[in-house]
Structure 1
Amino acid sequence: MYAQFYIYNPGAALDTHHKRNLRLNRNVLQTIENVMQQNNPFCELYQCAFEVLKAASGGDENFNVPVYLHYDNSTDHHRYNMPTTDEIVVILPGDGMEISNVRDIIVYRKQEQGLMQISECHPAYLPLHYVLFSPTGQLGWTTKLKHWYVTRNVSTSGKLSMKQYFCYHLFERASEYSPILREGRLFQQFIVDVWPATEQNRLAYARLNQNEFCSDLYYNLTDIVTEGLNADKIGQRSVLPSSHIGSPRNMYEIYQDSLAITRYNKHPYIFLTMTANPNWPEITNALLPNQTVYDWPDLVVRVFELKRKTLLNVVFNNGVFGIHVAHV
């Protein structure tokens, strides 16, 4: 579960520590502020965190709430180490055994003077968290969004999933300007943020629709024994279907299929690997001006996936290694 996590950006922490934000063009900042005050309806409804902290500190402009990473020497050094690179990461508090289904997203309403907790599925989450992506306050994904027939200008009966919504915004289109793809490290944080939200949404669906997966067949001690789990750690279980990529049953099914193919067709004699190269011309030519591959990470993934599919097509259909008889 990814119910609770926090974003850690060492670059932003360094900027705050050294007060580098003072070098920014004040006229540009003022223009952005004016645009949001005039066009963003959330500016009148909600209060910024720094305003609440300033009021709590008695008006102190230099009031800060620092957050530090604590390293525990008793943990496994191969898994739990302090960051060694300047990357944006997700911090998952706790040991993973806590039962929690809601992320700690709090908004402060000006008029009612009170705190309100919202989920990542709330349509106001994206415009409130990523203000520069939507300076006019355009609402984000909701469970009521549906697919749209562009030619007919009507909606369909099929609902738009959270994954499809974010995939749409990750693509560059010549007909519209995309601020998301031009935000550098903020774009990286956006990707790191929405992936757990999307995965959490899928896990919630599986948990609330266990009857569709015939989960009653799995409620026995077989999995507990084979997985080596302690009885005191077992609570109400949610079974993930084998179609859920990365789930235990998905990996177990692929493993068993691979063994069955190997048992019937003998052992393979070619071990072929493929890695991505950020200097591929398909990647460098698609980058926007002054961008690096780190500013557009999903572009590298998409190019690699297309090349992987091309390689599989050559192997399966062109017979470069012989006749294709089976694959997983």
Structure 2
Amino acid sequence: MCCNGGKVSLPQVNAPQELLNIFLDPSAEGNHFRKHIRGYNHVFSFTSCGVHIDEQLASANHDIYTFRAQGSMYHSIGGFYPDQGTRPRFLQLYIYDTDQELQNRTLENTQLHESLVLKLQQLLHRYNPFIHVVHQLAQRLDVQECSLVIRERPANQPQYSLPTALQVAAIIVGDDIETIVRGRDIKVQTHTGNLRRIQEFVGYYDPLQYPLLFPFGTHGWDINTRTQRGNKVSCRTYYSYMLQIHPNDHSTVLQAGRLFQQYVVDNYVKMETGKLRWVRQRQKELRAELYQGLQDALHTEENNAENVSRRTILPSSFMGSHREMTQRYEDGMAIVLKEGKPDIFLIMTCNPSWSEIASELSPTQTPQDRPDLTTRIFRAKFEQLKQDVITKGVLGKVKSYIYVTEFQKRGLPHVHMLLILENNDELSDLDQYDSLVRAKIPCKETKPHLHEAVLRHMIHGPCGTLNQSSPCMKNGQCKCNYSKEFIPETRRGDDSYPQYRRRFDAPIPFNQNVTIDNRWVVPYNSWLLLKYNCHINVEICSNIKSIKYLYKYCYKGPDRVAMEVHRSSHYDKVQ
């Protein structure tokens, strides 16, 4: 995944040691910088970022920070001078009223420390080639007659060489023929009525928006990006390589925390935009004419002819398209029709305290600062879980299974999986239920490790009267119906799951103010819980209602990332 099987080798993106010291500063000022790093980057950006952000998740006061963008994401650049009555912003801060540059930057965000803004400003003025050119422009007496041409990286420039001021931009006076705009260069003028859109497939897209991540003005991916061997590199391959952990890494990218989240989302949108452009330009190869546009419109009860126009067809190979989601859902329904209803419903959630994650974090980082790391470790753990459950059959011999990967609002990946067992291993006896799934707090003296794991990962809430502000509370009640009732023996329930044995035991302390008992335990399998040390909810599907989870998670899930459908060897292709 990281280097395309050894075919991709790109130079590392470095940063000056003074800047790395700020990123890794363990003091109170360093903590402030990491908490407001997006604000610090914002006041030094050359371009504005147009995006609708979920402010509830991106709030600085939120316990778990998650950057989630909704809709399109784009960068824009304006003229040299602000409009009448407005203060300078972005590129204008480097040109307009340079004597008050520091004060103008602090006005952008009053939460930023002026001393830290000054330190970053001095560092970028020393190293960034884009700033060198802009400062030359600001000192010209004929600046009103000048334009700034931001250069795209030439195709023959070595990938490993840092850009210089002469390469990244040029100053045009009047109609200077020698520095005429060509190709994907962009011309910035003194006054412009509208903002100019920066195309996402140009190399200066990243350094203009993220000067703290690319202090040397290092170009990002463009269509001319090649490996050191001269091979062309796709956008996805480039950023897969960039986001890996490299030895002797002196980059600020993986140390940027909240700004790193924005950078990842921004470039994911860039990749998706490239895929959509590819689909739009290759409708003939996709044989889009076979989709009957007029009949499709009539089937959707569209009677206004003005709304029926030329459409771009997203094929089922495009992840997240309507056809792809419908295909996955219909495959899942066909498997249930062929193999029978699911027998086990399993949920696995990433544990940010896994040693594989904690060992890779720097002293100033938390798991939320490295979503790339948590996702990779979770994928490796889940592949191991599939090996245990599917191949080794620790829950029974599996003939078909379906799963979907999602991300919680707190940013942790988790999987919903449905398992269909072989006929000889189907669970029909209540004693089999008890041997596979438990809903009790183990004895601390006889099973200390299992006792600790259950208290850490498998306790719901508490909610209700114990905690009205719990996320599971809806209209004054727990939407998961906790706490459960005490039940002396397991019995079949009326809904999708059995009612597991929850005997009355003495309550034990959960935290300083709350005591809990078996009513708050989420059903689990002891072997899986001890091995993977994370939240693994195992439920037995005793009713056909469990098929509704296919529809909910595999077709209607808003945060759905991927779904895999696996058939048994004797399964025939569904028409």
TM-score band w.r.t. shorter chain: 0.5 to 0.7
Aligned to 2:224: 144
Q: Report the Cα distance in structure 1 between the residues aligned to 2:216 and 2:350, rounded to whole angstroms.
A: 38
Q: Quick check: 1:108–1:114 contact (8 Å CA) kept in 2?
A: no
> Are 1:130 and 2:130 an aligned pair?
no
Q: 1:29 to 1:43 in 2, by over 3 A?
A: closer
Bigger Cα displacement from structure 2, 129-138 vs 17-26: 17-26
CA displacement 1:108-161 (0-9 Å, x = unmatched): 74xx54665421111111111111222222211111324x4xxxx6233xx422
CA distance in 2, matches of 1:114, 1:15: 23
Residues 77-125 of structure 1 show CA distances to partners (whole Å, capped at 9, x for unaligned) of xxxxxxxxxxxxxxxxxxxxxxxxxxxxx9774xx54665421111111
**Aligned counterpart for 2:239 among listed residues 160, 166, 174:** 166
Identity %: 31
Q: Look up the match of 2:51.
A: 6
TM-score, normalised by the number of residues in structure 2: 0.40
Task: Tell me whether 1:20 sits opposite 2:65 in the alignment.
Answer: no
Deviation of the 1:203 alpha carbon = 0.8
Distance 1:25 1:259, change over 3 A: closer
8 A contact 2:357–2:377 mirrored in 1? yes
Distance 1:264 1:186, change over 3 A: same
| Residues 264/137 of structure 1: CA separation in 2 closer, same or farther (3 Å cut) | same
Deviations 1:266-312 (A, max 9, x none): 10111111112222222122112210112112211222222222222
Amino acid at match of 1:171: Q
Aligned to 2:288: 215
CA 1:246 to 1:226, structure 2 compared with 1: closer, same or farther past 3 Å? farther
Residue identity opposite 2:270 in structure 1? A
8 A contact 2:339–2:400 mirrored in 1: no
Which among 385, 393, 412 is matched to residue 319 of structure 1? 393
Corresponding position of 1:275? 349
Preserved CA contact (<8 Å) 1:170 1:181: yes
Match of 2:273 among 197, 200, 207: 200
**Structure 1: runs of 5+ lacking an equivalent:** 56-105
Confirm whether residue 43 of structure 1 aligns to residue 138 of structure 2: no
Counterpart Cα distance in 2 of 1:215 and 1:25: 53
3-state SS, counterpart of residue 360 of structure 2: coil
Return the alpha-carbon distance in structure 2 between the equivalents of residues 277 and 46 of structure 1.
47
**176, 180, 195: which one aligns with 2:249:** 176
- CA distance in structure 2 between the aligned counterparts of 1:14 and 1:236, rounded to whole angstroms: 49
Structure of greater Rg? 2
Letter paired with 2:229: V
Name the CA distance, whole Å, in 2 between partners of 1:172 and 1:155.
23
Matched, 1:119 2:199: yes
TM (normalized to structure 1)? 0.68
- CA change 1:239–1:203 in 2 (3 A) is same
In 2 relative to 1, CA 46–30 (structure 1 residues): closer, same or farther, beyond 3 Å?
A: closer
More helix by share: 1
Q: Cα RMSD over matched residues?
A: 3.4
Write the distance in 1 (CA, Å) between the matches of 2:303 and 2:114: 54
| Aligned mate of 1:290, from 364, 367, 375 | 364
CA contact (8 A) 1:46 1:107 kept: no
Distance 1:286 1:182 in 2: 12
- Partner of 2:349: helix, strand, or coil? coil
1:240 aligned partner, one-letter code: L
CA distance in 2 between partners of 1:163 and 1:256 (Å):
29
